[in-house]
Amino acid sequence: MSAAVSFDQVSKRYATPRGVLQALDRVTFDVEPGEFFGLLGPNGAGKTTLISILAGLARPTEGRARVFGVDVQADPLQARRLLGIVPQELVFDPFFTVREALRFQSGYFGLARNDAWIDELLEGLGLADKAGANMRQLSGGMKRRVMVAQALVHRPRVIVLDEPTAGVDVELRQTLWAFVARLNREGCTVLLTTHYLEEAEALCGRIAMLRGGRVVALERTAALLQRFSAHVLRFKTDQALPPALAAQARETGRIKQVKVHDALEVERALATLREAGVAVEDVEVHKADLEDVFLELMAQQRAEAAA
């Protein structure tokens, strides 16, 4: 069976006033049918450019993107029928009600009697009581739900979610993931880009990480976590850390995190804090999570680029 999504040596270059920008550099990986796959990377890594190429909105400078063996450039209509894409931006027609917007979207795919599935989408995404509401009357979170419904209205075999929960409330995130997880269990392939790494860790069986337009990691999520199996010493303090610890610590306001490998390193770090007169609270040690892995990989890539 063909891969659900296949990127083969995909490169994308843009001409800019300052020269040529290499947005993607020979990106190659497959997403298998039925997989829940995560595509991660910092801002500017090339994630949205890659999704735009898959959607047929941008042409690769080199390489091919395919959906179940269908080349998205050679046969865009057939590829588009296989895809349901939720973009980052909120795009909607202010003159339609929610149900009208979904019926109109169904018409793009030649679906004239689609109300039963539309009703299921409205119910599953918590939109049933908004079916008759005008799109411009909805909150940002509700508009996001409608965009998800529009992407699913033709029952695509592959769902692409580009930062679907960025800036939305916890209720929407839970509703969305429950519904998408159900579709995935029923056989839909899901390709997700997100900045919420705990989502990727909880949902994605396999992950590709991009930096500077290149794939820097491509592994099962569990294998990535195992490869970076260090622990993290986490504590809170209002004081500045001593230089020896500050150089390796990750700081988020009062919360400080230091990578440690064993009990001896934990004791050394705490001793360094005591000697510097730094008062700490809520001290704990936990296993590295996907955020720790992500940051370590990005730091490695920066170091290699600098070298």
Q: Is residue 46 part of a domain?
A: yes
97 and 209, same domain (yes or no)? yes
Where does a domain end: 171, 206, 225? Answer: 225
Where does a domain end: 225, 241, 272? Answer: 225
Domain that holds residue 247: 230-287
Higher pLDDT, 26 or 221: 26
Q: How many residues does the chain have?
A: 307
Q: Is residue 302 part of a domain?
A: no
18 and 45, same domain (yes or no)? yes
210 and 282, same domain (yes or no)? no
Please tell me the predicted confidence (pLDDT) of residue 305. Answer: 66
Residue carrying structure tokens 């891969």? 3
Mean pLDDT of 24-32: 95
Secondary structure of residue 153 in the 3-state scheme: coil
220 and 87, same domain (yes or no)? yes
Sheet of strand 70-71: strand arrangement: 19-31, 5-16, 62-67, 70-71
Q: 236: which strand partners?
A: 255, 281
What does the pLDDT look like over 241-287, one tens digit per residue? 988 888 878 888 888 888 887 788 889 899 999 988 988 888 888 77
Where does a domain end: 199, 225, 251? Answer: 225
Secondary structure of residue 74 in the 3-state scheme: coil
191 and 211, same domain (yes or no)? yes
Identify the band that residue 306 occupies on the pLDDT scale cut at 50, 70 and 90. Answer: low
What does the pLDDT look like over 37-91, one tens digit per residue? 999 888 888 898 999 999 999 999 999 999 999 999 999 999 999 999 988 777 7
216 and 243, same domain (yes or no)? no
133 and 257, same domain (yes or no)? no
Identify the band that residue 228 occupies on the pLDDT scale cut at 50, 70 and 90. Answer: low
